[in-house]
Amino acid sequence: MKPRMLMCAPDHFGVRYVINPWMEDQIDHINTDRARAQWEAFYQALSEQAEVHLIEPRRESPDMVFTANAGLLVDGIFVLSRFRHKERQGEEPFFLKWFQQYESEIVKLADGIAFEGEGDALPQPGQDWIWAGWGFRTDLASQRFIEQKVGRPMVSLHLVDPRFYHLDTCFCPLPNDRAMYFPEAFDADSLRQIEARIAPENRIAVSPEDAEHFACNAARVHNTLFMNHATPALRRRLNSLGFSVVICPVDEFMKAGGANKCLTLVLDAGDPAGALPKNAEQAASPR
């Protein structure tokens, strides 16, 4: 099945305030033509493999290009984000309106609880759990609430490095029980949570160099990873595990603290429903 994603054109993209370390010293430093060209190239590449839907950009919301933060869509339920910073809260009604056209069930969080959508909530393909980052943008309380609403466990991971303020900047769940991540961005308990669920041979720990170029912020379509950057070593590792890597540089967007994954929201991952991860297949086979 063809995956479906949501993007937002960079018509009004810019750095007009500072809400993460990447934005420091970047106010009004975006080369808008370059940003547009990078976004278009990524959009075209992604559109070859996925059905890409678009939401209309808003002049007053320069970060709306980062649609990953709209909310979390899982099993037909859309959990609308509640942004931590007032600078982005104006996006909420527009994302809500877009999802109201398509999704039957919309869940909103109680007042005062922050949750920044797929930026901090990433389902593990083929499993029921959702990896859930907290510490900078998302409140832990949102995760217990969402768990109840969507009926799936959320594995809370504490983010400790302000440069990796959203989970999707340092963690990328992959099919067949794999995950790519930057261990230094997590506290010790969270690393134990990851290690309890992802076997050693399935963990792709990236170097500081890859992490700082947001290699973990990959947009995935089946086994293709659209990435801003990957060192030759990381590319080889991913290729050897059966992933194709498509480099789509988005460094203009990194000035705002986001890369390829942040620029997309998954409407439907389109992963084959019956494809069980290897260990599950073994467990299910007759003895």
Instruction: Cite the active site residues.
Output: 166, 262
Binding to ligand ARG, residues 102-131 (CB under 6 A) = 119
Q: Smallest distance from the beta carbon of 23 to ligand ARG, in angstroms?
A: 6
The residue assigned the tokens 């054109």 is 9
Which region, left, alpha or beta, applies to residue 79 given φ > 0 means left and ψ of -120 to 50 means alpha? beta
Cα distance between residue 226 and residue 56, in whole Å: 23
Query: Considering only residues 68, 154, 170, 227, which one is a binding residue for ligand ARG as defined by CB under 6 A?
Result: 68
User: Which regions of the chain does DSSP assign to beta strands (E)?
Assistant: 4-7, 51-54, 71-74, 77-80, 105-107, 121-123, 130-134, 154-158, 171-174, 178-181, 203-205, 219-221, 224-227, 244-247, 265-268
Closest CB to ligand ARG among residues 169, 190: 169
Task: Report helix, strand or coil for 93.
Answer: helix
258 binds ligand ARG (CB under 6 A): yes
Cα distance between residue 63 and residue 91, in whole Å: 9
- The closest alpha carbon to 169, from 60, 273, 263, belongs to 263
20 binds ligand ARG (CB under 6 A): yes
Query: Considering only residues 61, 81, 169, 224, which one is a binding residue for ligand ARG as defined by CB under 6 A?
Result: 169
Q: Smallest distance from the beta carbon of 88 to ligand ARG, in angstroms?
A: 6
For residue 79, what are its two tokens?
Answer: 């959990």
Q: Smallest distance from the beta carbon of 85 to ligand ARG, in angstroms?
A: 7
262 binds ligand ARG (CB under 6 A): yes
Closest CB to ligand ARG among residues 168, 177: 168
For residue 175, what are the CA distances in angstroms to 10, 126, 171, 222, 278?
30, 7, 13, 8, 10
Stretch that binds ligand ARG, among 38-46, 102-110, 223-231, 251-259 (CB under 6 A): 251-259
255 binds ligand ARG (CB under 6 A): no
235 binds ligand ARG (CB under 6 A): no
The residue assigned the tokens 């909420």 is 92
256 binds ligand ARG (CB under 6 A): yes
Query: Considering only residues 5, 6, 8, 19, which one is a binding residue for ligand ARG as defined by CB under 6 A?
Result: 19
Cα distance between residue 183 and residue 211, in whole Å: 10
Q: Interface residues with ligand ARG (CB under 6 A)?
A: 19-20, 23, 63, 66, 68-69, 88, 119, 166, 168-169, 256-258, 262
